[in-house]
Amino acid sequence: MAINESFPMILIAIALCCLVVNTEARWMIGNKLSWKRVIVVDQSGKGDYKNIQEAIDSVPSNNVESVFIRVEPGVYKEKVTVPEDKPFIILSGRKTETTIITWNDNGDIWKSPTVSILASDFVGRYLTIQNTYGAGAKAVALRVAGDRAEFYACKIVSYQDTLLDEQGRHFYNNCYIEGATDFICGNAVSIFQNCHIHSISTQNGAITAQHRTTPAEETGFFFVDSKITGVKSCTLGRPWGPYSRVLFIRTYMSNVVVPQGWDDWGKPSMHSTVYYGEYECYGPGANRSGRVEWSRSLTTEEASIISKDMIDGKSWIKA
């Protein structure tokens, strides 16, 4: 009789254990993310690998199946590269503040990154990615050069050229990006939604340096429902390329944004070719009365174009 009475309790216990183990997997499937293989990275030795690069290296070349790499909390002092022939990787921590990938390098923007994403169809979640070199040289924290890359609740931190958003279609959601000089740069077409942009510049350092070089390129940086804070003063951007394109939509701007808003990098010839605009931005730094005359107050129609559709997002951005 005692055995029969305890049997339901055993079943409940087993069910609870399964629920705990599968909570993340069930959540991911519910949000249109699924995978064929799970790899656990744990510095304590309880996972499949102790460092992240080893886990990525274990994914076969020309991979065609989704691989979920779960990174347990810890400070991972390593350079990480997802090579071009390893698409469909999901790299996820459990909590942004406790899952840290860090390195200290500078110089070449293509060689200094702490993390380099060269593959397509990549998803990064709940990670802090930092380059601790500091001021004085280019020091990239994250380089993204693959197509269809997504980042959720990631913290990306350096001083100069923090995020090299090099090429491809990218989506950043609820991310924190910090730097002082040109710290979001490159020639991707990217939407930054609900992101926190924090400038540590003390002398009008530019947040963006977008590299669009011809009017035919459908590239640009588009900030939607985001916010800008900082320590002293900054500009919204300056043109790395002559057709540089950056737009801010419904974004909060603190008083760190200087009244002129934008910088021409000493190249007045670009005034007629760059496309810099703002729409329904607010906060003490959003007052357009002092803006440079070659920036734009976007119309509702112009602003409405900025959506996931412009990067064919419905086909690859997860819910």
Selection from 150, 158, 102, 162 nearest residue 125 by Cα: 150
Instruction: Evaluate if residue 34 carries a pLDDT over 90.
Output: no
Whether 264 is catalytic is: no
Same domain membership, residue 98 and residue 22: no
- The per-residue pLDDT for 18 is 41
pLDDT averaged over the chain?
Answer: 91
CA gap 249, 225 in Å, rounded: 6
Q: Is the CB of residue 105 less than 8 Å from the CB of residue 116? A: no
Catalytic residue among 105, 147, 161, 264: 161
Catalytic residue among 105, 182, 263, 264: 182
Look at residue 62 and tell me if it is in a domain.
Answer: no
- The per-residue pLDDT for 24 is 41
CA gap 93, 117 in Å, rounded: 16
Whether 182 is catalytic is: yes
Look at residue 117 and tell me if it is in a domain.
Answer: yes
Instruction: Evaluate if residue 155 carries a pLDDT over 80.
Output: yes
């992101």: which residue's tokens?
195
Angle at 152 between CA 148 and CA 154, to 5 degrees: 115
Same domain membership, residue 108 and residue 7: no
pLDDT tens-place string over residues 48-98:
999 999 999 999 999 999 999 999 999 999 999 999 999 999 999 999 999
Contacts of 104 (CB under 8 A, 6+ apart): 131, 132, 133
Query: Which structural domain, as residue segments, surrounds residue 16?
Result: 1-30
The pLDDT of 140-149, averaged and rounded, is: 98
Same domain membership, residue 85 and residue 222: yes
Same domain membership, residue 290 and residue 236: yes
Number of domains in the chain: 2
**Three-state secondary-structure class, residue 288:** helix
